[in-house]
Structure formats: C-alpha cells, structure tokens
Chain A
Amino acid sequence: MKLTSNAKTRLSFLERAASWIGAVSLILVSLAPIPALASTAGVLDTRSVTPSSSLPAATGVTLTSVFNIGQTANVGTIKFEICDSPLAAVSCVNSGNSTGESFTSGPATTTGCTGTNAASFVLGVSGQASTANTLYMTRTSASATAGNTWTCTINAAKNPTTTNVQYYMKITTYNEGTGVAPTTVRDFGGIAMATTQQISVTANVQENLVFCVGTSGATSGTPETCGTFTGSTVTLSPNPMANGAASTGIAKMTAATNGLNGYNITYNGSSFTDTTADTITAFPVGGAVNNSATAEQFGFNLMTNTTPAVGVGATGSASGTAFGTYATANTFSYSTAGGVKIASATQPTADTLYTMAYVANVLATTKAGAYTATQTFICTGNF
C-alpha cells in the first residue's frame, strides 16, 4: 500500500499517541496497588501457643493459642495445623521436626475460644473434621473485629516425637462457617514451638529411726540425744513393797523416724518373779489398781496417772501416741505374750518422749523375795 504524506502524518500522530498511552499506562500501573498480595489475608498478630507439656510424644497436651484478629471480617472457621514449616505458602507436612504430632490420637477436643466476638466455636465435623495435623473449629460465620484478642484451647493433642526440636503451628481464619468448605482466608499466622527433654531430679533421704530407752537422762530435745539416756533398772518405790499401797516407778523412752508410715513400739516382757520362781500376778488387760490388798498386781502404762500418782503422758510436738490399753490413765496392763504394741505413729514424726509408769501391788501372803521383770522394747519403723 502506498501512503500519502497526509496519511504518514496521521500515522506519526498515532504512533506518538500510542507511545504516550504506553508510558502513562506504565506510570499508572506502577502507582496502582498490587492487588494479589493485598488480596485477603491479614495477619494474626501477637500470637502464641503454649503447650501444657513440651515433652516429645507427650499425649493429652493442651494447646492454648492466643492471637489478635488481623482484620475486621466475618469468621466462621479457624484452622490449626501442626507442621514442619510455619509459612503459609508451604504445604503442611510432618516428615521433619513435627513427625509424630497428632490431633487424632487422643482424639483432640476443644473448649472453643474466649474473647470478644470469639463465642460458639466447636470442633469441626464432617468436611472439617480433624486429621493428624489439622484441626478445625467452626461456628456459624460471625463478625470479628481487628484487634480482638482470642484465646482458643485444644485438648488431648500429641506432641512430635523428636526431642529438642522446633516445630510450628499455623493458624488460619476463614469466612466460611460450619458445614461450608473454608476457602476465604481472613487472617493467618505461623508460630514456632519446641519440644524439650525432661529434667529428672533425684534425691535420697536416708531412712532413720531414733529410739532410746533409759531410766534417766532424757532431754526432751528434738532430736533427742540417745547418748544422754542412762539406767536400765527401775526400782519400785516404796521398796520393799507393802500390802495396801502400790509401789511405783518410771522409765523413759523416745522414738522418732522418717518412715513414711511411722513406727510401732512393742515389748517382750517376762513375768514379775523372784529367784525361786514365785510370781506376782500381772494386771489383767486394762486393770485398775486395787489397793484393798485383795490381789497381786504388776503392770504399766504410758499415761499421766492419779491412782496412783505416777507417770506422765507422751510429750513433744510429734505425732507418736500411746496405744490401746496402755493409753488409758489409771489402768495398767502387762503381758508376757510378746510383741505387745504399746505406742505408734502413722507418719514421719519427730521425737515423742514416753514415760512407762510401773505399778505393783502385793498381798500379805506374797512370798518374800527380790522380784524382777524384764522388758525389751522394740521400735519398728514403717518405711
């Protein structure tokens, strides 16, 4: 085609116009907002997740997530993912540090979310049911305002299995609510978490049992110093014994232990006899003193008595106490059966100072002689 000079002039005008259009377009486009990156997703800021346990493979873990809503919009679904990467553009997989995590092993549950506009979220079902690495909370889509602080709780999750590694939770909010596939992202945030090994703390406390018996030297200290205890013979007074008036005497013993279940004190006793095997009859169990000179009596208790006036009850701030018939004032007992329990504690206890109050009565017909009874006291710690 042959062009005339006028035609060329028009084309030159068109060319210049096209150049200007192109240049202006470039400027306009350069100044225009970038649509895709600005598209929809806001940022969940000031976000955190606190696990109740950081132990690898721990089960029953509660994950408490706190975040601020990024942009004002309706929110119907919150997706929680445990992943190897916190980045939105990276698919959530569990082949690395997050291996072993699970929302389904429990399975995980939720108590929903708290905070302004955070009500009514429940565990997703059907198409929004939990998978190993994804848990949905859903509700009927409702408004959320930028800056609202929400706290959402997931229970019974399982931690990744590797120790001392970091892994990630990704939280995404969607417009769509219960029963609708979540597609419209509102906000997103990634959070780093870490597993750690457990610190085991051990200590040993040596078992101890303090038990001392003597006729004098007790200090009533805590702990009692057994080294101060002296004497092993109690001579009843008045001596010699006389018909119509009880003879009495005392001895002391103290006990303490750190046994978890305390201690028991028992005794093995021989008859109150003289060298020719004459025996002063033992008290019946829990018998009272008979000063009417109608019976022989021999026994003891661990109490403060008035009839006769002898002995003192257990002292000290500890929890040891006299036991059974040996714990009743003014009644006395004695047995040669062996292993007779007279005091005990049911827990670790500091020193308890006991006083054995001995009483003997004789008849006018009781044979003369030197009467002796021997008791061996045994304290058994229950650890």
Chain B
Amino acid sequence: MRRWNRQLVISMALVLGISGTASGAIGDPSSTSTSYRIVEGEVGGNGQFNSTSTGGNFTFNPSADDGGSSLGENAVGNGASTSFQTKSGFDTTAQPSLTMIVNTSLVAFGALSLVTAKTATATFSVKDYTSFGYVVQIVGSPPSNGGHALAGMGSQSANSTGCSPTCASNNGVEQFGINLRLNASPAAVGADPVPIPSSAFSLSNPSVVIPLPYRTADAYRYFSGDTIASAPSSSGETDYTISFMANMSSVSPGGTYGGGMTLVATGTY
C-alpha cells in the first residue's frame, strides 16, 4: 500500500510539476505559436549591458560596454526571412534595444566664402537589437539668419534623388548639404560608416546602410525628414559621420546663421 501511495504521489508530483512549468508567467514578446512560447527569463545577455534580474538576485555587469568581448564572446547569429528572424548565441536577450548616440553637439562652419566651400562633420552611433532594422531621419531646417535659410541642396522632396543644378559643391552658389561618406571634394572630409567592433557583428556597407541620396561621395543633399541611414536587420554598433558642406552667394544675407537638427532613430521589431 505504501509503495502504491508512493508511486501515486510521485506521479502526481511530476504531473503537477510539469503543469506548474506550463503555467509560468506570461511575459516577454518572444517567439510564440498558438501553443508554445519561448520566454527568456534570464538575467540578460551581452546585448544587455549592466542587466539585473527583476528580483535583483542576479546581475550581469561586464566592466565595460564592449559588446560582450570581455565576457568571452559577443557573436549573436541572425537568421531572418521577410517575416521572421531568430537570434542564436550564448547570451541573446529578449529585450529590444535601440541605442542612438549623437556625439557632436555643435557644427561650426565659421565664415562662409564666395570662393571656398566650408565643411564640417558630426558623428553618431546606432546599435539595434532584435529588430527588422532601423532608420535614422534628420529633422530640422538648414541654418538660417533673419528668416533666410541657406538653400538646401537637391531636389526638394523627401528622399528624392538628383539635384538641380548640381549635387556638387559650387562656389558662389548658396548651398547647404550633407552626406555620410568619405569625400574628396570640395575637401577631404567625412568618413564611411564604421562597424564596431567589426563587420562580423555590425552593418557598415554604405550600399546597405546609407540611402542613395546621401551615399554618393562628393555629392551632397539636405531635406528635412530624409532618411540618412538605415539597416535591414539587427546590427551591432555602426558609427556614422555626417559631412556638412556650405557655400554662400553674393546675396546670402550677412549675419550669423544657426539651426538645430535632430536625428530620429526608429527601430522596427
């Protein structure tokens, strides 16, 4: 009788135990079917810097946010179709992530000239995880003075290509434009996107991450709301350099020009 009881108790315990596992908390937006869901309940992964478990029982604090290199690996494989994607690795995280850092707060051209184009740069970084990619838009008017804004270069409709009369620097013609490439003209300025820590983890091919209007070296354009950078899938950190270029004409109103631009990053998850 005791053996029978013992077997019954063990059986029920196992049944209840499995049932208990099945009734775990509804939680993270992870891989899901109508019958099953895969939920990550761990502290976090390398993609999640300084993560801490909900109850505070576990922490995961590498000494530097190096993408996980200090933890022995930082590779997370990505498999994707047009509808689905998976992340595979030792330490993937369920938490969507979008890191957008603008490293430059002031772009100063100095005094514009009729005979020499002025250039300057600004940099920003984007890191995006568990997504179908991201887009970065630039929003803001060209620098203005008393109601007169420097003329933005290019066909003036969103994300259009081509310029009139030209996308190239033209001394004596009022122009304001940007691109995200390493340029040789009108001066050596800018840099191509840089993958951090390497292209094994981060997208950086200009043909992939820079939309056409801002992809051509030595050609410039500016239109508020344009997408200036994008990625079709998750990516580690990519460091971008915006090259600014400005020319003035003889009738560009004298004075100090100023304007604020913001970069808006949108991840799709």
Q: A: which residues have CB within 8 A of B?
A: 11, 14-15, 18-19, 21-23, 25-26, 29-30, 33-55, 85-90, 164, 166, 168, 185, 188-208, 222-223, 256, 258-260, 347-350, 383
Q: Is B70 close to A, CB under 8 A?
A: no
Contact B36 A86 (CB under 8 A): no
Contact B36 A164 (CB under 8 A): no
B53-87 contacts to A, CB under 8 A, are 54, 83
Q: Which of A39, A87, A200, A259 contacts B258 (CB 8 A)?
A: A200
- A contact residues around B216 at 8 Å (CB): none
- The CA-CA distance from A34 to B39 in the complex, in Å, is 13
Q: Is B105 close to A, CB under 8 A?
A: yes
Contact B23 A35 (CB under 8 A): yes
Contact A29 B253 (CB under 8 A): no
Q: Which of B102, B143, B267 contacts A202 (CB 8 A)?
A: B143
Q: Is B165 close to A, CB under 8 A?
A: no
- Shortest Cβ distance from B262 into chain A, in angstroms? 5
Contact A37 B24 (CB under 8 A): yes
Contact A166 B100 (CB under 8 A): yes
Chain B interface residue count: which class? Answer: 35 or more
Chain-A contact segment, one of B25-33, B156-164, B181-189, B195-203: B25-33
Q: Which of B22, B145, B265 contacts A196 (CB 8 A)?
A: B265
Q: When each residue 252-266 of chain B gets 1 if its CB lies under 8 Å from chain A and 0 otherwise, what string results?
A: 111111111111111
Q: By CB atoms of chain B within 10 A, which of A22, A40, A189 has the most? A: A22
Q: Is B209 close to A, CB under 8 A?
A: no
Contact A164 B250 (CB under 8 A): no
- Shortest Cβ distance from B207 into chain A, in angstroms? 23
Contact B264 A35 (CB under 8 A): no
- The CA-CA distance from A22 to B14 in the complex, in Å, is 9
Which partner residue on chain B sits nearest A163 by CB separation? Answer: B102
Contact B250 A258 (CB under 8 A): yes
Known pairs A37-B37, A205-B253; A197 contacts B266 (CB<8 A): no
- A contact residues around B171 at 8 Å (CB): none
- B contact residues around A38 at 8 Å (CB): 33-37
- A contact residues around B8 at 8 Å (CB): 18, 22
- B contact residues around A54 at 8 Å (CB): 100, 262-265
Q: Is B97 close to A, CB under 8 A?
A: yes
* Beyond A37-B32, A349-B251, 5 extra complex contacts between A and B, CB < 8 Å: A11-B1, A15-B7, A50-B266, A204-B256, A348-B253
- B contact residues around A42 at 8 Å (CB): 32
The 9 A-B pairs of least Cβ separation, nearest first, read A22-B11, A207-B254, A192-B98, A89-B27, A34-B22, A194-B100, A203-B109, A348-B251, A36-B23
- The CA-CA distance from A39 to B32 in the complex, in Å, is 11
- The CA-CA distance from A202 to B246 in the complex, in Å, is 11
- A contact residues around B215 at 8 Å (CB): none
- Shortest Cβ distance from A158 into chain B, in angstroms? 15
Which partner residue on chain A sits nearest B141 by CB separation? Answer: A201
Q: Is B108 close to A, CB under 8 A?
A: yes
Q: By CB atoms of chain B within 10 A, which of A42, A193, A198, A347 has the most? A: A198
- A contact residues around B100 at 8 Å (CB): 54, 164, 166, 194-196
- The CA-CA distance from A88 to B40 in the complex, in Å, is 12
- The CA-CA distance from A49 to B135 in the complex, in Å, is 11
Contact B264 A51 (CB under 8 A): yes
- B contact residues around A88 at 8 Å (CB): 26-29
- The CA-CA distance from A205 to B132 in the complex, in Å, is 44
Known pairs A50-B266, A189-B29; A196 contacts B124 (CB<8 A): yes
- The CA-CA distance from A30 to B101 in the complex, in Å, is 47
Which partner residue on chain A sits nearest B16 by CB separation? Answer: A29
Q: List 13 A-B contacts (CB under 8 A).
A: A22-B8, A25-B11, A25-B15, A29-B15, A36-B23, A45-B83, A47-B269, A48-B269, A88-B27, A88-B28, A190-B269, A207-B255, A347-B251
Known pairs A191-B267, A200-B105, A349-B251; A260 contacts B146 (CB<8 A): yes
- Shortest Cβ distance from B169 into chain A, in angstroms? 15
Known pairs A54-B264, A192-B96, A198-B260; A89 contacts B109 (CB<8 A): no
Contact B251 A192 (CB under 8 A): no
Q: Which of B21, B36, B99, B145 contacts A205 (CB 8 A)?
A: B145
Contact B98 A166 (CB under 8 A): yes
- Shortest Cβ distance from B180 into chain A, in angstroms? 13
Q: Which of A188, A201, A203 contacts B29 (CB 8 A)?
A: A188
- B contact residues around A193 at 8 Å (CB): 98, 265-267
- The CA-CA distance from A40 to B99 in the complex, in Å, is 31
- A contact residues around B39 at 8 Å (CB): 37
Q: Is B220 close to A, CB under 8 A?
A: no
Q: Which of A14, A41, A223, A258 contacts B252 (CB 8 A)?
A: A258
Contact B36 A200 (CB under 8 A): no
- The CA-CA distance from A190 to B96 in the complex, in Å, is 7
Q: When each residue 188-232 of chain B gets 1 if its CB lies under 8 Å from chain A and 0 otherwise, what string results?
A: 000000000000000000000000000000000000000000000
Contact A87 B94 (CB under 8 A): yes
- A contact residues around B4 at 8 Å (CB): 11, 14-15, 18
Contact B255 A260 (CB under 8 A): yes
Contact A22 B267 (CB under 8 A): no
Contact B54 A89 (CB under 8 A): yes
Q: By CB atoms of chain B within 10 A, which of A33, A258, A347, A383 has the most? A: A258
Q: When each residue 90-133 of chain B gets 1 if its CB lies under 8 Å from chain A and 0 otherwise, what string results?
A: 00001111111110111111111000001010101000100110
Known pairs A199-B102, A202-B106, A203-B143; A191 contacts B96 (CB<8 A): yes
- The CA-CA distance from A35 to B23 in the complex, in Å, is 7
- A contact residues around B83 at 8 Å (CB): 45
- The CA-CA distance from A37 to B258 in the complex, in Å, is 55
- The CA-CA distance from A256 to B249 in the complex, in Å, is 12
- A contact residues around B269 at 8 Å (CB): 45-48, 189-192
- The CA-CA distance from A195 to B98 in the complex, in Å, is 10
Contact A53 B262 (CB under 8 A): yes
Contact B11 A21 (CB under 8 A): yes
Contact B267 A192 (CB under 8 A): yes
